[in-house]
Structure formats: C-alpha cells, structure tokens
Amino acid sequence: VSHRRPLLCVPLPELPDVQSGDDLAGMLTSVAPADLSGGDVLVVAHKIVSKSEGRLRRMAEIEPGKRALALAAEHGKDARLVQAVLDESAELLRTRQGVLICVTRQGFVCANAGIDRSNTAAADELVLLPEDPDASARRIRGGIELALGVRPAVVISDSFGRAWRVGQTDVAIGAAGLTPLDSWQGRPDAYGRELRVTEIAVADAIAAAADLARTKDSREPAVLVRGLERYVTEADGPGAATLRRAREQDLFR
C-alpha cells in the first residue's frame, strides 16, 4: 500500500510465571524470534518486570496506619491496600469516588499508585511498580544484548487512566534505546508552516499499539513491535522519564 515499512505488533509466546529473582531478559530471549533485530522494539508489561525485581507485598504483612484506615473507611477500600498505596505515593491528588489518584514516588500520576492485584499467583499479593522503570528497561536491553548480540529498544508498559477520557490506555513507564518524544518544533509541515502538534509521545503510542496486539487475560506479557527503526537509538537515551510532566508544567495538579 505504501513505500514505507508497515507497523507490526506481534505478541511473543506465553511465558511461565515470573518469580522474584528470575532472569527476565533470559526468559524474553528464550521466546524472542530468531530474527530479533536491533531495530525492533520489545514492549514488556511492567508486571513481570516488577515480579522479577521482587516488587511485591503481601496484604497479610501490611499494618495500616491512621491515615490509611481513615481513607479506607471513607472510600470503602481495604486499609492494607490503601497503606500500600500511601507507601508508594509522594502525594495524593484526588481521593473522590472511591478512586485514589496518586503521584507515585517515581513521579507518575495514576490510580492506586500503580499497584496491581491481578494476575498474581497469590490472592493477597500486591504488585508494585518497578523502583526505576527506565533502569529496568536498560537492564533488560543489556541482558538481551549479552545473550543475542542485538540491542532492540525496550519499553516497559502499564495501563493508566486519563483525566478527561474514559478507559485506560497503555503508556511507557520505562524505556531504553528509544526516542521517547518526537519533537516537530521548528520543523515545517507539508505546507511549510508551523505545526500545532509539536511533540509526539512516541513511547506512549508504542505501548498503546502493543497492548492492542494481546488480550488482558492472556499470559503474553511481551509484544514485538517492528517498523519503528527511525525511533530506535544505539544509546539507551533519556528513557520514559521524559514523558512525566514536571509539576511546574502541570495545569491540573
């Protein structure tokens, strides 16, 4: 249809359950296609990254404090979960309608500080966000390069809600080897004039595209994305931290 290479998103085969301490890069390598290339992007659901890094808490071991107990009573939530959310948050932005919108310690704005209860082997286990998802992405990229000699870009994704849109979309919470933001500022458009849209959040769009290629009830936590060589960089680069809006640029905090 076009002269350009199409965008292609293919889930990698299912992985076995990931445990704390597992070599995630090795596990991904074992299911990656033989023709994995340095121009590919590998999108990995944060949950298996968190698990491999031991970013887990058991509800039974959490002692809720005063604030957690009050918030839990007010919002009809489990006080131990609320305590875990507070422990992962730098700030609570909104606590209405039974939803806790947080600024996480990593600087992300999302519900429940990104803590997840689903898809975990133990019913009372909480999955936290990775401590430093850009560092996680760099480690995975490095591990893949060690094993296979190629350096695909790595994106770590999570599903975030949006302020003014219904439903979640996947965004990039970590990235390595990818231009996270494609800035068009100063570049002319097809008519040589100024563009209204000046910065495309490429890493977030990649995370959203990858999520379309799988279903949530599958165990396909990694998706291979092809056709984006123009955004893949040799250096690990600034990562997805670039996409966190700074507090002083935030009109809605």
Site stretch for a second copy (CB under 8 A), options 20-28, 56-64, 133-141, 201-209: 201-209
Site stretch for a second copy (CB under 8 A), options 60-68, 83-91, 92-100, 133-141: 92-100
Site stretch for a second copy (CB under 8 A), options 19-27, 64-72, 146-154, 187-195: 187-195
Q: Which of residues 231-250 bind a second copy (CB under 8 A)?
A: 242-245, 249-250
* Distance in Å, CB of 118 to a second copy, minimum: 4
* 67 binding a second copy? (CB under 8 A): no
* 174 binding a second copy? (CB under 8 A): no
* 252 binding a second copy? (CB under 8 A): yes
Residues 128 and 110: their CA atoms lie apart, in Å, by 13
* 86 binding a second copy? (CB under 8 A): no
**Under a CB-based contact definition with an 8 Å cutoff, are residues 137 and 243 in contact?**
no
One DSSP character per residue, 24-82 reads HHHHHHHHS-TT--TT-EEEEEHHHHHHHTT-EEEGGG----HHHHHHHHHHT--HHHH
**Under a CB-based contact definition with an 8 Å cutoff, are residues 32 and 10 in contact?**
no
**Under a CB-based contact definition with an 8 Å cutoff, are residues 155 and 41 in contact?**
yes
* Distance in Å, CB of 240 to a second copy, minimum: 10
Residue count of the chain:
253
